[in-house]
Amino acid sequence: MGRAANSIPSGVADFDSIIKGGFPSGSVVLLIGGVGAGQVEFALTSAAKLSMVMLDPSSKSFYLGPGKDSTMPEQICYITFSRSREEVLQELDNSFNREFHDAFEKVVKFKDFSESYFRKTMVPRSWTGGEPGSLFSSPSNKSVLESLVDYLDENAPRSMVVIDSLTDLVVSANIDIKDLVAVLRGLQRVSKRWGGVIYLVLTDDVLEERYQHMIMDSVDGALVFEWSRYMNSSRRQRYMYVEKFISLLPHLDKERIARFATTVTARSGLVVIDAERIV
């Protein structure tokens, strides 16, 4: 496959080596799974490891593997709706080595939409980091989706963008799921002009099946993360598989790869430990 020059590394080195360098530039990638199955860890690992390489370009082969023809994004943006920057940094500090936290803190452009997200709810401004002058968030003309679109227009070109999480949007009483799907379809279209890569983090089974299928249909690729129990054992193993990705699936089918066994370590973040093949 001669796609590496237009690929952006995910930062999960063994996975990138199998898919020939990373995700095609311009991709909108859904990361979907159960609670703790690995989708958030994949996004954090990706953002942190690429941040390390941005701070020290000579470390690229060490952190990202031998995909030397892949293209680094110009910046990394991390978007949240209900979580603060401090909360995400604390999660990095608790889960991974300090270098993950420090690189993320120095490099990643963080955007917190909690003021817009909680505006028409019973959540006081003081709870979301706003000024406690009034009980509830102040009124504004723009919805959270409008604010998100404006931010992406300005910051997404040639960037890696993590939206953590789509779950916050799909459970919000103030957001129509059909409006969200329309935004995602538009995002998939414009992302080809922007280049870069956009991750959408979603918790599995929070949506009706038909709406989840609509979202799956509105992205370029989908990685599914799941837990599986060992037979006759209480031990569990994390797995990741490519549910949808037109440019990647033919290669994985050729290699007869069914799914990837993964683990999460403090030293390396999310790591692929085995590619399970169809026999």
Residues across the chain: 279
Distance CA 40, CA 7 (A): 21
- Residue 267: closest CA among 99, 122, 55: 99
Domains of the chain in sequence order:
4-277 (3.40.50.300)
pLDDT digits (tens, 9 = 90+) for 42-74: 999 999 999 999 999 999 988 888 765 789 999
Max Cα-Cα span within the chain: 64
Strand-strand pairing, 75-80 and 197-203: unpaired
Q: What's the pLDDT score for residue 117?
A: 85
Q: What's the pLDDT score for residue 4?
A: 40
* CA 259 from centroid of its chain's CA atoms: 19
Q: What's the pLDDT score for residue 98?
A: 95
Residue numbers of the chain with a pLDDT score lower than 70: 1-5, 67-68, 129-141, 229-234, 279
Q: What's the pLDDT score for residue 67?
A: 61
pLDDT digits (tens, 9 = 90+) for 76-95: 999 999 999 999 999 999 99
